[in-house]
């Protein structure tokens, strides 16, 4: 049975708090969204609402074109990035944007997360690329994010953070956690030496099952 609209709104608020609890965001940063099934509408976290005050009633409805539909507050300044991802990726049911420390450090460096761990690939689909820098909400940020994300499940935003997508909020959050873990391993391996990519055949095999695994 599909969750009700109120349940979806609560889930969006809950996952924003979960991002904070897991260290993916601080203060007012980060945003979360999910599709409303069988509509062209999306639920997204609002702008400038403290974590401890965020509730289902604060969650905003926008269209997949990025237009305001309903809500008591303005949507996140990056709501149009979420909308653009949904337009480009019909398979995506949820988008999570955070500033987890290691992923953000690599984003600041402009360094992709290369496929160096086989268990990471099936869930993300390959290298986590870095989108070019763009001001929050700008056309440059929107276009660059969608292009750098491509068919995969995550992208780094230059000088900003990471975006993870999935079939639903739980899957998108799992990807966000995996990206931060992979970024941390990449950082530690770089300190100790020079990380090596997986063999080409392993990359091809793991990436090939991505379309299956992400729908589980």
- Residues catalogued as catalytic: 78
State how far the Cα of 64 lies from the Cα of 155, in Å rounded to an integer.
20
Q: Is 113 helix (H, G, I), strand (E, B) or coil?
A: strand
Spatial CA neighbour of 179 closest among 97, 60, 65, 79: 97
What six digits make up the tokens of 206?
A: 């793991």
State how far the Cα of 27 lies from the Cα of 216, in Å rounded to an integer.
33
To the nearest 10 degrees (0 to 180), the angle between helices 101-109 and 169-192 is 60
């Amino acid at each position: 049975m599909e969750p009700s609209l109120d349940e979806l709104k609560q889930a969006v608020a809950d996952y924003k708090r979960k991002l904070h609890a897991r260290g993916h965001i601080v203060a007012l940063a980060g945003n979360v969204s999910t599709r409303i099934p069988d509509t062209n509408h999306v639920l997204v976290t609002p702008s400038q609402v403290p974590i401890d005050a965020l509730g289902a009633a604060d969650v905003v409805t926008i269209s997949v074109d990025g237009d305001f539909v309903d809500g008591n507050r303005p949507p996140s300044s990056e709501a149009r990035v979420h909308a653009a991802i949904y337009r480009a990726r019909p398979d995506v049911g949820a988008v999570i944007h955070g500033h987890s420390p290691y992923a953000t450090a690599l984003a600041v460096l402009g360094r992709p997360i290369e496929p160096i761990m086989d268990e990471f690939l099936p869930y993300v689909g390959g290298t986590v690329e870095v989108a070019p820098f763009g001001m929050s909400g700008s056309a440059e940020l929107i276009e660059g994010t969608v292009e750098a994300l491509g068919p995969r499940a995550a992208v780094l935003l230059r000088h900003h953070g990471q975006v993870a997508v999935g079939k639903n909020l739980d899957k998108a959050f799992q990807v966000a956690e995996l990206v931060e873990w992979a970024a941390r391993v990449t950082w530690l391996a770089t300190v100790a030496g020079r990380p090596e990519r997986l063999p080409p055949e392993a990359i091809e095999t793991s990436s090939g099952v991505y379309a299956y695994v992400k729908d589980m």
